[in-house]
Amino acid sequence: MITRQRRVAGVCVLFAALTAGIALPSAALADETTAAAPKVNLVLDVSGSMRERDIDGQSRMAAAKQAFNEVLDATPEDVQLGIRTLGADYPGDDQKTGCKDTAQLYPVGPLDRTEAKAAVATLAPTGWTPIGPALLKAADDLDGGTGSKRIVLISDGEDTCAPLDPCEVAREIAAKGIGLTIDTLGLVPNTKMRQQLSCIAEATGGTYTSVEHTDELTDRVNQLVDRAADPVVTPVATEGAPECAKAPTLESGLYTDRAEFGQQRWYRVDVLPGRELRASVSASADRDVNPGYGVLLRAVTVHGREIVRGEAAGNGRTDVISTGLRYPKREGDDDDADKPAAETVCLQLTHSFSAVAGVKTTPGLPLELTIDVVDGPSPSSDVAAFGLGRGWWLLGILVLTGFVGGLLWGWLSRWRVAVWRTN
């Protein structure tokens, strides 16, 4: 005989099972959303030079705190944000100790605005400027998850912890292929600091910004945090071939590859009549290279005839160089218009980077290739399209009109001279 206690226990077990059945999918969904959340790590220089009072009548530290408070208020709900400091704790003169002075002020995760502001309020300019070590730790703070990752570095001076070069650290982070971008902001910048912060940003595809006012700092950091929340396109890894016949066929999208020094990479794209191929490539120097380099992107037919090319050259002032090209495939270019066939376009990528002595040549330099096949120009825009196309007839009319006009003007001039001499 079933007692009342057993009935109650059975009901409780059933209720617990139903609750678990409902809660588990929700928890799984929440975990998936958290894993895909964008992450931002704000890295703030708290070295002794931040005491200087040259930003809108207040110290650089006070300006940074004000900007941080406004940024924390405006941070989107879906962004996981953290704060790391450099030079905030050690006031001494020992460089070895000072170059370890980086700490996580607020962990990367869901933002508690009150707690984060309270942590920022405790900061006081103190010690050294270990930018390189701070970037390495900041990258570790962002480990895990599938969402976008961004470091925003704010500093008022160059790194004081050589020989750990911050540019080399940024290149090392970029070479890991974890999709982490570093943006840098310089407070009251000088030439040396500008070069270093620009180098750090360019190594990871980020941006460098010079700021001299509190509102500029606030606006720029807000923009970068918002950018992290924007949807991003995940690049697809591909591997180009040494010749067109063996090259992979790519569709519209963003691709990554690597090319060794002196190596050509080939890719194939099918372009239907009435469509336009738009292709661009960026090559990055993630290690020391000799100044003076270039990148060439050629579109050729499967028979080797060049269609169009794009090229760019650099002189060592930037670690990234880009170029692109456009090729419209016209309607009616094929003999059988009833059965339009796609044309296979071969893309040849060549770069002229060369390694500095002693630098590893493998793996190859990172490449980012963008392919877009879109609707081509209107058939009526003959002259504006690639080449003159059927616009040759217009050019012919213009030439003929000019020739006839010249003959008439010459005959009229001679006739007027003859009449004048007769009179």
CB 225 within 8 A of CB 71: yes
Total residue length of the chain: 423
Q: How many helices (H) and strands (E) does the chain have?
A: 9, 15
Q: Among 229, 259, 279, give the residue marking a domain's end.
A: 229
How distant is the alpha carbon of residue 215 from its chain centre?
25
Q: Is residue 122 part of a domain?
A: yes
Q: Are residues 259 and 344 in the same domain?
A: yes
DSSP 21-63: HHHHHHHHHHHHHHHTS-EEEEEEE-SGGGG---BTTB-HHHH
Q: Which residue has the tokens 């040759």?
A: 392
Distance (Å, whole) CA 173 – CA 102: 18
Q: Looking at beta carbons, which pairs linking 117-121 to residues 24 or more positions away fall under 8 Å?
A: 117/68, 117/69, 117/72, 119/83, 120/65, 120/68, 120/69, 120/72, 120/83, 121/65
CATH label of the domain that carries residue 121: 3.40.50.410
Q: Which residues pair with 371 in a beta bridge?
A: 253, 279
Q: Which amino acid is at 59?
A: S
Tell whether 92 and 166 lie within a shared domain: yes
Whether omega before 273 lies within 30 degrees of 0, making that bond cis, reads no
Single out the residue of 253, 259, 254, 277 nearest to residue 344, CA to CA. 277
The reply to whether 22 falls in a domain is no
Q: Do residues 205 and 91 both lie within one domain? A: yes
Q: Which of 375, 395, 416 is the last residue of a domain?
A: 375
Residue 191 lies in a domain: yes
Same domain, 301 and 335: yes
Residue carrying the six token digits 């941080």:
68
**What pLDDT sits at residue 51?**
93
Inside any domain, residue 280: yes
Tell me, rounded to whole angstroms, the distance of Cα 281 from its chain centroid: 12
Q: How many CA atoms lie within 13 A of 242 on its CB side?
A: 3
Q: Does residue 17 form part of some domain?
A: no
Q: Residue 313 belongs to what domain range? A: 236-375
Same domain (yes/no): 243, 129: no
Instruction: Determine, yes or no, domain membership for 5.
Output: no
Residues 342, 271, single domain; the answer is yes
Residue 323: inside a domain: yes
User: Do residues 141 and 244 both lie within one domain?
Assistant: no
- CATH code of the domain containing 351: 2.60.120.380
In order of 177, 368, 370, the CA distances from 235 in angstroms are 10, 8, 9
Instruction: Please tell me the distance from the alpha carbon of residue 119 to that of residue 123, in angstroms, as a whole number.
Output: 7
Claim to verify: residue 345 and residue 216 sit in the same structural domain: no
Specify which residues 44 forms β-bridges with.
85, 154
Contact 328, 345 (CB under 8 A): no
pTM over 0.85: no
Query: CB under 8 Å to 152, separation ≥6 — which residues?
Result: 40, 41, 42, 43, 182, 183, 184, 185, 221, 224, 225
> What's at 88, amino acid-wise?
A
Rounded Cα distance between 48 and 237, Å, is 44
| Residues 302, 183 within the same domain | no
Residue carrying the six token digits 């010690």: 127
> For residue 327, which of 274, 269, 281, 386 has the smallest C-alpha distance?
386
Q: In the prediction, which pLDDT does 26 show?
A: 45
* Residues 58 and 144 reside in one and the same domain: yes
Q: What token pair was written down for 230?
A: 């924007």
Which pLDDT does position 305 carry in this prediction? 93
State the total domains in the chain: 2
And the tokens for 1?
Answer: 């005989």
183: number of CA atoms within 13 Å, CB side?
Answer: 20
Could you tell me if 251 and 342 lie in one domain?
Answer: yes
Going from the first residue of the chain to its last (423 residues), give the mean pLDDT of each consecutive group of 10, the final group possibly shorter: 46 42 45 77 94 92 94 92 94 90 95 95 92 94 87 91 86 82 87 87 85 89 84 78 95 91 94 91 84 92 93 74 86 54 93 87 87 73 42 67 78 74 67
Domain shared by 251 and 183, yes or no: no
Is 400 a member of any domain?
A: no
- State which of 229, 250, 281 marks the end of a domain: 229
The Cα–Cα gap between 98 and 127 comes to 7
